């Protein structure tokens, strides 16, 4: 009888034990043996020729298939070596759980036990990483043959997934559940563990900058309670390597040209929960700029003139970032003159004796370049012409790098493609030829949205909309939307063609119906004071005058129906008619009631250099808008508005912007400006104030009790905003970047200051409005003039008489103040956060009003939240 060698026995033990994890329920394999048991084999039995080979135990495999895996053949001598080789060959196939080879005088029997078939894969304990992320990484699949090597590899891949999330304490224990018909279920029991944080960052060798300053330059941050939303506190080897580059970049910008990171070590704490990172740095000496100049080999560039415009001067502290920016600026300048392949090479002259860094920017000779062709790739839906018409260069034009950047920004602003898009530049068929390549990646442009939310302005809001921003791949926008809330509802259909008949002329059409319930405040309650229904359409066309200046003409036709509550604001007038009572409703509201047709012609001049219209970070925009109502219709006014905004990237993700606008509206032809056509300010235009909370208003204070009696007290109060004919508002805002984790959540905080005012309305004259319908009573104890309203029959009821001898009512006295009609600015500062939350967009603002006028309605906290389903 022949038994496997000790070396082979060791190899079989290694097959059973999978590293530190043992698969439960799997029997250990047997070894090759002779039929005689444990007796030592004789020389004759080892070398006797093989007469027959029989395979037993195979179920799925044919015996001939099993024999094809080994080299042992009939007629060959049988030996320990040949038996061990056969065992090794069979186990290497990973098809068998157990193999035994016996020899009985040349009759060799190979008894096999096949590995089971995988029935299903089960994951247990995974909460942080869902099944759809783990299962694609698992190579063992149902109906495959079970093998230990595949299971070990799958365990390693799952653990690697958790390491990428910073969970270095994660463990995976694979288990096998035996089933009938030689099948098994593979169960991966996952213990995820806590996310491994960076507990501490130590820096050794820094003398000129504090540890805190250097940590601030790194992407990796120490785990603290204030950074619960930051993903930068988790350990990541790639991020650690990037931090070394950030340290070097920082020191080079501060003049330390010899700086280097000697070592960077990350140590896992004994509990495997956190990491401690230690950097050893060598700062070196600080350098200043020496002689700085430009040498140009291009005939269109004067090296001496370029030298005078360099941002660095001799004696300034050396700054590597400034050098990089200068190289980029010189390349852009050369590209603007058609030298696409201009090569600017800095030559350094380091003097360690006086610690200066001489620098010469050498502009290498290069040919002037022309655009050979423009290639557009990746657009499966969008037509080529939609992309090509945004290029500011055509095939055959002289290359211009500024126009390439402008083309990139215009294509980004379409909103059809990925955000990280750049027009690539590739060499053409000759040295003076270049190929511009737009490799786009389309993203969905159709939107079907149903939303519900709660607003501090409108209470509950319901909205539905369908829009396609790239209809049929032609760049057209079509949309249909509707909304409903407690105070407003609307439905609107729109169509925009940006290039009418493939000409550089845009056309837009909107058809809409809007119902709005305006309001005033009665005590602290919001109360409807008039309802406005507007049905109309607008047609507009735009023509670019220059690259950045566009003229837009429009025509608007609106049919307005404005009504008020008759029981609240109507009474019988002196003529005996039941009509709107100016004393009850206010003169301006009574003037607005009725049905009117507004025919409005407008024009706008728009200047726009923004890098992105959706979320700009640099550039400016300005517009002037003139609308004239009176080309037919029942309303006559002229309205002029202007606005401007500018954005600056401040570095490190900070974006600062300023915005301002203003307007004036005037009636003509004997018409005055109606209440519904005036300007209003407040939430959401000005944070810190309520809706229509800024500007002219009438506040009426009602009294209870008898005039002149001790029981006379103030009771109810109403607050009516009147709007204005002039307004201005401005805003300064700084967007604050957060860590990558917060960015992934869609958090964008900002600090802001808002200022503005609205004014220009003539004060209502209560005495003129009273006529026979009101009575001037005596003043109250504070000196306010008291009034009261006669009843529908123009009679005054009551038992008490006034000094004039008229009977005094007991419930209808009031005072009235006209406030807020001033150009003086109202100012509010605050902090706000935009959050693209999982349940929809969310905006919250906290404001503090610094300047206000008497009567203004302030509001410190506002929010708006919605959801999609």
List CB contacts of 69: < 8 A, sequence separation 6 or more: 89, 90, 93
With b meaning 16 or more CB within 10 Å and e meaning fewer, what string describes 423-432? Answer: bebeebeeeb
| E-strand stretches of 115-182 | 117-124, 171-179
pTM: predicted TM-score of the whole model, two decimal places: 0.58
Confidence class for position 32, pLDDT limits 50, 70, 90: very low
List CB contacts of 157: < 8 A, sequence separation 6 or more: 137, 138, 139
Looking at per-residue pLDDT, the higher value among 517 and 70 belongs to 70
pLDDT of residue 823: 94
Distance CA 299, CA 303 (A): 10
Confidence class for position 789, pLDDT limits 50, 70, 90: low
Looking at per-residue pLDDT, the higher value among 7 and 290 belongs to 290
Residue 766 has pLDDT above 70, yes or no: no
pLDDT of residue 604: 95
Confidence class for position 452, pLDDT limits 50, 70, 90: low
DSSP secondary structure letter of residue 40: P
pLDDT of residue 787: 59
Stretch among 2-11, 461-470, 727-736 having the lowest mean pLDDT: 2-11
Confidence class for position 629, pLDDT limits 50, 70, 90: very high
Q: Compute the average pLDDT of residues 514-535.
A: 71
Residue 247 has pLDDT above 90, yes or no: yes
- Look up tokens 């009474």; give the residue: 571
C-alpha torsion sign, points 253, 258, 259, 261? positive
- Residue pair 746/667 in contact by the 8 Å Cβ criterion: no
pLDDT of residue 21: 34
pLDDT of residue 836: 63
List CB contacts of 854: < 8 A, sequence separation 6 or more: 819, 820
pLDDT of residue 781: 55
Residue 379's closest CA among 466, 470, 469, 448?
470
Q: Compute the average pLDDT of residues 349-359.
A: 91
Q: Compute the average pLDDT of residues 364-382.
A: 85
Residue 708 has pLDDT above 70, yes or no: no
* pLDDT > 90 fraction of the chain, expressed in percent and rounded: 26
Interhelix angle 320-336/237-253, nearest 10 degrees? 90
Residue 316 has pLDDT above 80, yes or no: yes
Distance CA 207, CA 283 (A): 8
Tell me the per-residue pLDDT of 563-604, one tens digit each, with 9 for 90 and over: 887 777 777 766 667 777 766 676 677 778 889 999 999 999
Looking at per-residue pLDDT, the higher value among 213 and 342 belongs to 213
Confidence class for position 522, pLDDT limits 50, 70, 90: low
Looking at per-residue pLDDT, the higher value among 194 and 551 belongs to 551
Query: Which contiguous run of DSSP H or E holds residue 633?
Result: strand 619-633
Average pLDDT, the chain: 80
Q: Compute the average pLDDT of residues 224-252.
A: 81
pLDDT of residue 527: 60
* pLDDT > 70 fraction of the chain, expressed in percent and rounded: 79
- Residue pair 624/549 in contact by the 8 Å Cβ criterion: no
Confidence class for position 428, pLDDT limits 50, 70, 90: confident
Stretch among 440-444, 571-575, 595-599, 710-714 having the lowest mean pLDDT: 710-714
Distance CA 452, CA 461 (A): 6
Structure tokens at 130: 């869902």
Residue 15 has pLDDT above 60, yes or no: no
What does the angle CA 392 – CA 398 – CA 400 come to, to the nearest 5 degrees? 55
Residue 679 has pLDDT above 90, yes or no: yes
Residue 446 has pLDDT above 70, yes or no: yes
Distance CA 394, CA 81 (A): 77
Confidence class for position 47, pLDDT limits 50, 70, 90: low
Confidence class for position 656, pLDDT limits 50, 70, 90: very high
pLDDT of residue 517: 78
Output the 3-class SS for 765-793.
Answer: CHHHHHHHHEEEEEECCCCCEEEEECCCC
Count of beta carbons in the 10 Å neighbourhood of residue 372: 19
Distance CA 703, CA 812 (A): 7
pLDDT of residue 567: 73
Q: Compute the average pLDDT of residues 796-804.
A: 39
């Amino acid at each position: 009888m022949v038994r496997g060698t000790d070396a082979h026995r060791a190899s079989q033990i290694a097959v059973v034990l999978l590293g530190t994890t043992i698969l439960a329920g799997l029997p250990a394999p047997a070894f090759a043996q002779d039929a005689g048991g444990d007796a030592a084999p004789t020389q004759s039995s080892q070398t006797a020729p093989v007469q027959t080979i029989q395979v037993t135990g195979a179920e799925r495999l044919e015996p001939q298939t099993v024999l094809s895996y080994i080299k042992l053949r009939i007629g060959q001598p049988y030996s320990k070596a040949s038996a061990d080789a056969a065992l090794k060959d069979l186990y290497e196939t990973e098809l068998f759980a157990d193999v035994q080879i016996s020899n009985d005088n040349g009759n060799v029997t190979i008894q096999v036990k096949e590995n089971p078939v995988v029935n299903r894969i089960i994951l247990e304990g995974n909460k942080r990483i869902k099944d759809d992320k783990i299962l694609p990484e698992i190579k063992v699949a149902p109906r495959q043959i079970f093998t230990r090597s595949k299971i070990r590899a799958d365990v390693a891949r799952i653990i690697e997934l958790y390491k990428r999330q910073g969970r270095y304490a994660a463990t995976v224990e694979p288990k096998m559940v035996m089933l009938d018909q030689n099948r098994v279920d593979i169960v991966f029991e996952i213990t995820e563990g806590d996310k491994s944080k960076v507990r501490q960052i130590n820096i050794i060798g820094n003398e000129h900058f504090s540890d805190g300053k250097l940590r601030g330059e790194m992407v990796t941050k120490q785990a603290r309670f204030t950074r619960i939303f930051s993903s930068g506190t988790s350990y990541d080897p790639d991020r650690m390597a990037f931090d070394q580059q950030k340290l070097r970049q920082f020191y080079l910008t501060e003049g330390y040209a010899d700086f280097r990171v000697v070592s960077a070590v990350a140590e896992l704490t004994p509990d495997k929960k956190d990491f401690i990172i230690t950097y050893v740095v060598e700062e070196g000496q600080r350098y200043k700029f020496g002689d700085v100049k430009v040498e140009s080999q291009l005939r269109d560039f004067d090296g001496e003139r370029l030298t005078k415009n360099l941002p660095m001067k001799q004696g300034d502290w050396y700054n590597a970032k400034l050098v990089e920016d200068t190289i980029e600026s010189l390349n852009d300048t050369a590209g603007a003159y058609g030298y696409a392949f201009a090569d600017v090479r800095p030559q350094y002259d380091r003097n360690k004796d006086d610690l200066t860094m001489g620098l010469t920017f050498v502009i290498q000779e290069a040919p002037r370049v022309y655009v050979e062709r423009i290639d557009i790739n990746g657009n499966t839906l969008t037509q080529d012409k939609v992309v090509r018409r945004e290029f500011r260069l055509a095939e055959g034009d002289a290359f211009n790098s500024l126009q390439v950047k402008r083309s990139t920004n215009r294509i980004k602003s379409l909103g059809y493609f990925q955000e990280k898009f750049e027009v690539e530049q590739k060499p053409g068929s000759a040295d003076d030829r270049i190929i511009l390549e737009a490799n786009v990646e389309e993203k969905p442009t159709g939107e079907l949205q149903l939303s519900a939310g709660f607003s501090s302005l409108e209470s509950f809001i319901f909205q539905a909309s369908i829009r396609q921003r790239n209809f049929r791949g032609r760049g057209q926008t079509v949309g249909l939307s509707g909304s409903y809330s407690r105070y407003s509802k609307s439905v609107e259909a729109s169509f925009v063609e940006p290039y009418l008949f493939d000409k550089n002329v845009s056309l837009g059409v909107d058809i809409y119906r809007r119902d709005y319930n305006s309001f005033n405040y009665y005590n602290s309650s919001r109360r409807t004071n008039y309802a406005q229904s507007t049905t109309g359409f607008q047609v507009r066309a735009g023509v670019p005058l220059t690259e950045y200046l566009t003229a837009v003409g429009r025509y608007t036709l609106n049919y307005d129906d404005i009504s008020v509550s008759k029981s609240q604001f109507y009474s019988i007038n002196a003529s005996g008619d039941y009509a709107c009572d100016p004393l009850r409703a206010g003169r301006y509201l009574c003037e607005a009631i009725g049905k009117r047709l507004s025919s409005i012609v407008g024009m706008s001049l728009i200047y726009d250099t923004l890098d992105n219209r959706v979320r700009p970070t640099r550039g400016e925009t300005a517009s002037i808008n003139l609308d004239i109502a009176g080309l037919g219709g029942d309303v006559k006014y002229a309205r002029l508005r202007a606005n401007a905004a500018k954005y600056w990237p401040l570095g490190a993700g900070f974006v600062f912007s300023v915005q301002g606008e203003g307007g004036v509206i005037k009636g003509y032809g004997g018409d005055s400006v109606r209440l519904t056509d005036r300007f209003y300010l407040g939430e959401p235009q000005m944070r810190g104030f309520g809706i229509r909370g800024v500007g002219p208003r009438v506040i009426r204070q009602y009294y209870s009790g008898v005039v002149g009696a001790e029981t006379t007290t103030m009771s109810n109060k109403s607050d009516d905003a009147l709007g204005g004919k002039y307004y201005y508002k401005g805003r300064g805002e700084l967007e604050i970047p957060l860590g990558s984790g917060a960015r992934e959540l869609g958090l964008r905080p900002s600090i802001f200051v808002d200022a503005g005012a609205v004014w220009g309305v003539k004060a209502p004259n209560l005495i003129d409005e009273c006529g026979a319908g009101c009575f001037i009573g005596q003043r109250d104890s504070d000196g306010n003039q008291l009034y009261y309203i006669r009843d529908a029959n123009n009679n005054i009821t009551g038992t008490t008489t006034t000094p004039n001898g008229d009977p005094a009512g007991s419930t209808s006295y009031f005072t009235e103040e006209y406030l807020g009609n001033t150009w003086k600015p109202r100012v509010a500062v605050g902090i706000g956060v935009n959050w693209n939350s999982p349940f929809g967009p969310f905006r919250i603002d906290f404001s503090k009003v610094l300047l206000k006028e008497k009567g203004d309605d302030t509001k410190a906290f506002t929010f708006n939240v919605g959801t999609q389903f």
